Structure 1
Amino acid sequence: MLRIPKSVDYGVLILLTLFESEDQMLSAKEIATRCGVSYQQVAKLLKMLVKNALVHSKQGAQGGYSLSPEKANLNLEEIYQALEGPFSFAECMDKHVAGSNGCKVDPTCRLKPHLAIINQAIQSVCRSLTLKDISRSRHRKPELPFPLGVAL
């Protein structure tokens, strides 16, 4: 079954920690402690998040990492893309994979249109779920953005 890569899982935890710390700068060590993730993993992911402008870093005694206020509406699709590249449910859906259009059964594939629907549904849900939503769901059960069984 489909699994979220650990980099995205941990990346969301890091971003939530920064989001919920408001304007406070946090060290990588503090983030690792709060998230329950190894310092090495956190440092590696913070580097990627800074590179992709999702997180700000500041050197020095008063330094650390923070999430800028406009990133509160950052969605799961944007986080996934920053850490793993474009999402694709199946390799044949990924326009960025060399040879993905070279599938031997592509011209007669009856599954590809259905995979495309699944791919679009997952992307739609990820696009609709923001850090703010995830943070709010800590105190209440999250809801689907659409009823199960309803086509997007």
Structure 2
Amino acid sequence: MLRLSKLTDYAVVLMAQLAREPGRLYASVELAETLGLPKPTVSKLLKMLVKSQLLVSRRGTQGGYQLAREAHRITVSDLIAAIEGPVAMTECSLEDSQCDLISQCGVANNWQRVTLAMHQLLASVTLTQLAQTQPIKLPWVQIQALTLHEAG
């Protein structure tokens, strides 16, 4: 199964909260309480997101965290890369691949194309779109709404 980690999911939830009030500074404790996430997890994510230059932090009593740039300039691809690393479907899809089978496997080029398509999709969805309560409209993708029990 292809799935993002809980840490990445929590990072997106955290960033969406910040995107909803972009000019506001949030303390890590406030974010943890508002989102119902463990404080150590929120602190870890905030550090990773600052390191990835998606957030800025201000120290002091009036300090906190806020988006480093406008939410419409942050993509799902940026968020995933900040926590998981670069988007790649297989080892050979990475630019600095160390795969020993790449010369004889016969599928590396196609996996690279799938990875590129996935990256383009993830780069087309912004934090602004994720932070909204309405479903995202992707004109070139047909998505049927399923409930969790129908999907399984």
Name the TM-score class by shorter chain.
0.7 to 0.9
More helix by share: 1
**1:7-61: CA deviations, max 9, x gaps?**
3211111111111123111111111122222111110010111122211111111
Deviates more, 1:76-85 or 1:45-54: 76-85
Contact 2:26–2:66 (8 Å) recurs in 1 = yes
Which one of the candidate residues 140, 144, 147 is aligned to 1:146? 140
Structure 1 position 4 matched with structure 2 position 4? yes
Matches within 5 A, 1:3-152: 3-97=3-97, 99-100=98-99, 102-103=100-101, 106-136=102-132, 138=133, 140-148=134-142
Shift of 1:115: 2.0
Q: Distance in 2 between matches of 1:120 and 1:58?
A: 36
Using the size of structure 1 for normalisation, the TM-score is 0.82
Whether the aligned pair in 2 keeps the contact of 1:55 and 1:68 (CA below 8 Å) is yes
Please, what TM-score do these two structures have when normalized by structure 2? 0.82
Work out the CA distance in 1 between the residues paired with 2:88 and 2:22.
32
Name the SS for the 1:133 alignment partner.
helix
Q: 1:147 deviation in Å?
A: 3.2
Change (3 A) 1:88 1:21: same
Runs of 4+ in 1 over 3 A off after TM superposition: none
Separation in structure 1 between the aligned mates of residue 49 and residue 141 of structure 2, nearest angstrom: 33
Query: Post-superposition shift, 1:145?
Result: 4.4
**1:54–1:71 contact (8 Å) kept in structure 2:** no
Q: Using a 3 Å threshold, how does the CA distance of structure 1 residues 88 and 66 change in structure 2: closer, same or farther?
A: same
**Partner amino acid, structure 2, of 1:7:** L
Distance 1:50 1:81 in 2: 13
Q: CA deviation at 1:4?
A: 1.1
- For structure 2, which runs of at least 5 residues remain unmatched after alignment? 143-152
Deviation (angstroms), 1:134: 1.1
Q: What's the C-alpha RMSD, in Å, of the aligned pairs?
A: 1.9
Identity %: 30
CA shift, 1:126, in A, is 0.5
Label 1:8 to 1:15 Cα distance change in 2 as closer, same or farther (>3 A). Answer: same
Moved more, 113-122 or 29-38: 113-122
How many residues align structurally? 142
- What secondary structure does 2:70 align onto? helix
Distance, in Å, in 1 between the alignment partners of 2:68 and 2:54 is 8
In 2, the alpha carbon distance for the partners of 1:127 and 1:145 equals 15
Query: How far off its partner does 1:3 sit?
Result: 0.5
- The residue identity in structure 2 corresponding to 1:67 is L
